[in-house]
């Protein structure tokens, strides 16, 4: 079977797994919003926002670093290298998340939020370890394991929250359910990885220097990223009530669902892009680069248009009527979907062609511009101002990364397939607009079906290609 078909099967597996895990995640969010209310969900948003801020600040680019190192390693080096990556991530995660509750206390967070940070920090150590396992499975093109782990973790969360609701839950007990679910996710990945490599952390300083050497430019870029990715939630904590933060957090969680596929799909392409670029196989690199561009925008365009039109009914369905007023916030945030997907394509490609250091200036300028924007618009316009700054920052990053990769890779993309996808998305949008008064799940289903039909009709994709993804088996 060709590598192209292998990508298709991994994509199909990932998409199927993501659909299931996303459904479970939305159920869990709905249970949390209905149980905690806007204020309680605001506490959760503030707590997890701080942890994500610290997590991104100390990310060290572990997933792309793992992919790059394992993709380029000699077979006899792979075992030791993986164990040292694991050890490095474990030590850094324990230090960083161990300090986070103290940071929350020093920053003046409410005591209930500080307690939530302390509980959730345990699960975030597991999430940090998952970055290494994800890199391993991306390298081996065995992403079904990661999908399975995510599904099991989400299922544990739904079951845990259901059990707590039956007992008459409290806010902090829900935080424990979130933490246990994260640990379950990590355990699934950890146990399954034992069948590929020995999962025993090692602490070889020489190997760690190699990890740091590759990872520091990515880490610096990620540190700048954190300003425009999570700076809004941090600053909102000082300017708006927790109830409004809860509304913003609910809308942002839906945005996260819409954008997860970008990182998932580029995770499939990154090892192939890195492999062929490092071996100067330009034709093969160009093929996968074009495939990545086409594939991600085939997803991004309909999600942006459909999400914008259905923002209010979607947030009401997910979070409940108390969160209906978050609809306009979600509508604004869905405009950022395109920027996120474009940024994912060209940000990962920049890593593949070893231009992450040049990309650092994009992230730095974006951080400075966005932070300035947040400080201006959040005190004046609150959560709607934060949402529009998020849109601006994502679009800026996406366009700037596209220009950078185009300059250094010197590869000209074809836009025919994406143009047809845009036409299909606009027709889908018209259908959704005309049917917007009907139940939202029905409208989403009709919209998705119409999009696929028009994609095939416009020959953006072929029916034989879609059916082949289902009937063929991936290589063993």
Q: Give the angle subtended at the CA of 462 by the CAs of 461 and 467, to the nearest 5°.
A: 115
The pLDDT of 86-113, averaged and rounded, is: 91
DSSP code string of 321-334? GGGGGGHHHHHHHH
Cα separation values, 213 from 111, 141, 207, 464, Å: 39, 25, 10, 45
DSSP 472: S
Grouping H, G, I as helix, E, B as strand and the rest as coil, residue 400 is helix
Q: How confident is the model at residue 470 (pLDDT cuts 50, 70, 90)?
A: very low
- 464 token code pair: 């034989």
- Separation CA 227–CA 394 (nearest Å): 12
The average pLDDT across 8-34 equals 77
- N residues, the chain: 476
Comparing 89-93, 187-191, 198-202, the range with the smallest average pLDDT is: 198-202
For 68, 169, 199, 200, 362, the CA distances from 81, given in Å and listed in that order, are 11, 44, 11, 11, 30
Q: Select from 169, 50, 219 the least CA-distant residue to 120.
A: 50
pLDDT at 121: 95
* CA atoms within a 13 Å half-sphere pointing along the CA-CB vector of 353: 23
d(CA 39, CA 245): 8
| Lowest mean pLDDT segment, chosen from 156-170, 300-314, 349-363, 379-393 | 349-363
Question: Per-residue DSSP letters for 435-465?
Answer: TTTS-HHHHHHHHHHHHHHHHHHTTSS-HHH
pTM listed for this prediction: 0.72
| Contacts of 279 by beta carbon, 8 Å cutoff, 6+ apart | none
Residue 226: the pLDDT is 64
d(CA 343, CA 399): 7
Give me the helices (H) in 279-355, please: 282-309, 311-319, 327-334, 336-352
Tell me the pLDDT tens digit for each residue of 201-216: 878 787 777 777 776 6
pLDDT at 105: 92
- In this predicted model, what pLDDT tens digit does every residue of 292-332 receive, in sequence order? 898 889 989 999 999 999 999 999 988 888 889 889 999 99
Under 8 Å between Cβ of 377 and 295: no
Q: How confident is the model at residue 476 (pLDDT cuts 50, 70, 90)?
A: very low
| Cβ contacts of 235 within 8 Å, gap of 6 or more | 374, 375, 378, 386
First vs last C-alpha separation in the chain: 10
% of the chain exceeding 70 in pLDDT: 89
Question: Residue 158's closest CA among 253, 320, 28?
Answer: 28
Residue 28 has pLDDT above 50, yes or no: yes
Both tokens assigned to 30 = 């709905």
pLDDT of residue 181: 94
Per-residue model confidence (pLDDT) at position 241:
87
Please give the Cα distance from 333 to 115 (Å, whole number). Answer: 30
The residues, any chain, with a CB within 8 Å of residue 226's CB and separated by 6 or more, are: 53, 56, 57, 367
Distance of CA 26 to the CA centre of its chain: 15
Rounded Cα distance, 169 and 171, in Å: 7
| Cβ neighbours of 391 (radius 10 Å) | 17
pLDDT band of residue 217 (cuts 50, 70, 90) is: low
Segment 163-173 shows an average pLDDT of 86
Q: What's the whole-number mean pLDDT along residues 164-178?
A: 88
Q: What percent of the chain has pLDDT over 90?
A: 26
**CA-closest candidate to residue 8, choices 285, 288, 286:** 288
**What distance in Å separates the CA atoms of residue 257 and residue 28, rounded to the nearest whole number?**
13
Distances (CA, A) of 50 to 106, 186, 222, 367, 425: 13, 21, 15, 17, 36
Residue listed under structure tokens 């009914």: 313
Predicted confidence at residue 11, as pLDDT, reads 59
pLDDT 10s digits, 415-445 = 888 899 999 999 999 999 998 788 989 999 9
> In terms of pLDDT, which residue wins out, 158 or 254?
158
User: Where do the structural domains in the chain lie, given as residue ranges?
Assistant: 3-414
Query: For 1-74, where are the alpha helices, taking DSSP H only?
Result: 3-57, 62-72
Q: Residue 192 pLDDT > 70, yes or no?
A: yes
> So what's the pLDDT on residue 472?
38
- Alpha carbon distance 65, 426 (integer Å): 38
More reliable by pLDDT, 476 or 462: 462
Most confidently modeled range among 48-52, 205-209, 275-279, 422-426 = 422-426
pLDDT of residue 353: 85
Distance between CA atoms of residues 158 and 369, nearest Å: 39
Mean pLDDT of the chain: 83
Is the pLDDT at 169 greater than 50? The verdict is yes
Mean pLDDT of 131-140: 78
Least confident piece of the model among 150-154, 156-160, 347-351: 347-351
In the prediction, which pLDDT does 401 show? 92
What single-letter DSSP state applies at residue 310?
T
Q: Smallest Cα–Cα separation from 237: which of 336, 414, 112?
A: 112
pLDDT for the residue numbered 474: 35
- Whether the per-residue pLDDT at 468 is higher than 50: the answer is no
Q: What pLDDT, on a 0 to 100 scale, did the predictor assign at position 278?
A: 79
Task: Give the position of tokens 């920090």.
Answer: 121
Cα–Cα distance, 288 to 335 (Å, whole number): 27
Q: Which of 72-76, 253-257, 421-425 has the highest mean pLDDT?
A: 421-425
Q: How far apart are CA 344 and CA 266, in angstroms?
A: 7
Please give the pLDDT value at position 336.
Answer: 87
Burial class (CB in 10 A: 0-12, 13-18, 19+), 110: middle
């Amino acid at each position: 079977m060709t590598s192209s078909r292998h990508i298709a099967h991994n994509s199909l597996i990932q998409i199927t797994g993501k659909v299931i895990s996303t459904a479970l995640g939305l159920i869990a969010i709905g249970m949390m919003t209905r149980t905690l209310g806007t204020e309680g969900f605001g506490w959760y948003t503030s707590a997890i926002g701080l942890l994500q801020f610290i997590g991104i600040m100390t990310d060290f680019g572990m997933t792309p670093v793992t992919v790059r190192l394992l993709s380029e390693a000699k077979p006899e080096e792979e075992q030791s290298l993986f164990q040292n990556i694991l050890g490095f991530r474990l030590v850094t995660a324990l230090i960083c998340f161990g300090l986070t509750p103290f940071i929350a206390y020093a920053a003046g967070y409410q005591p209930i939020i500080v307690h939530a940070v302390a509980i959730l920090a345990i699960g975030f150590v597991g999430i940090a370890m998952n970055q290494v396992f994800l890199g391993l499975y991306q390298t081996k093109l065995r992403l079904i394991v990661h999908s399975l782990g995510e599904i099991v973790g989400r299922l544990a969360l739904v079951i845990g929250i259901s059990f707590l609701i039956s007992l008459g839950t409290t806010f902090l007990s829900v935080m424990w359910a979130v933490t246990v679910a994260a640990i379950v996710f990590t355990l699934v990945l950890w146990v399954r990885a034992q069948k590929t490599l020995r999962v025993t952390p090692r602490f070889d300083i020489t190997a760690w220097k190699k990890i740091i050497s590759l990872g520091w430019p990515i880490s610096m870029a990620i540190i700048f990223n954190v300003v425009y990715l999570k700076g809004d939630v941090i600053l909102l904590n000082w300017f708006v009530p927790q109830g409004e933060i809860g509304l913003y957090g609910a809308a942002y969680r839906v945005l996260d669902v819409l954008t997860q596929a970008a990182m998932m799909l580029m995770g499939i392409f990154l090892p192939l892009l890195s492999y062929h670029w490092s071996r100067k196989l330009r034709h093969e690199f160009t093929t996968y680069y074009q495939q990545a561009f086409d594939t991600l925008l085939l997803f991004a365009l309909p999600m942006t248009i459909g999400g914008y039109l259905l923002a209010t009914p979607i947030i009401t369905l997910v979070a409940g009527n108390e969160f209906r007023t978050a609809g306009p916030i979600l509508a604004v945030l869905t405009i950022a979907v395109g920027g996120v997907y474009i940024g994912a394509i060209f940000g990962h490609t920049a890593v593949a062609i070893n231009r992450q250091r040049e990309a650092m200036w994009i992230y730095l300028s974006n951080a400075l511009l966005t932070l300035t924007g947040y400080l201006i618009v959040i005190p004046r316009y609150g959560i709607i101002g934060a949402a529009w700054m998020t849109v601006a920052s994502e679009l800026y990053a996406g366009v700037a990364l596209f220009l950078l990769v185009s300059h250094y890779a010197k590869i000209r993309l074809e836009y025919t397939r994406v143009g047809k996808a845009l036409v299909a998305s606009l027709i889908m949008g018209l259908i959704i607009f005309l049917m917007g008064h009907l139940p939202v799940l029905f409208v989403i289903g009709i919209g998705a079906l119409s999009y696929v039909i028009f994609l095939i009709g416009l020959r953006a994709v072929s029916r034989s290609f879609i059916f082949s993804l289902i009937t063929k088996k991936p290589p063993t």
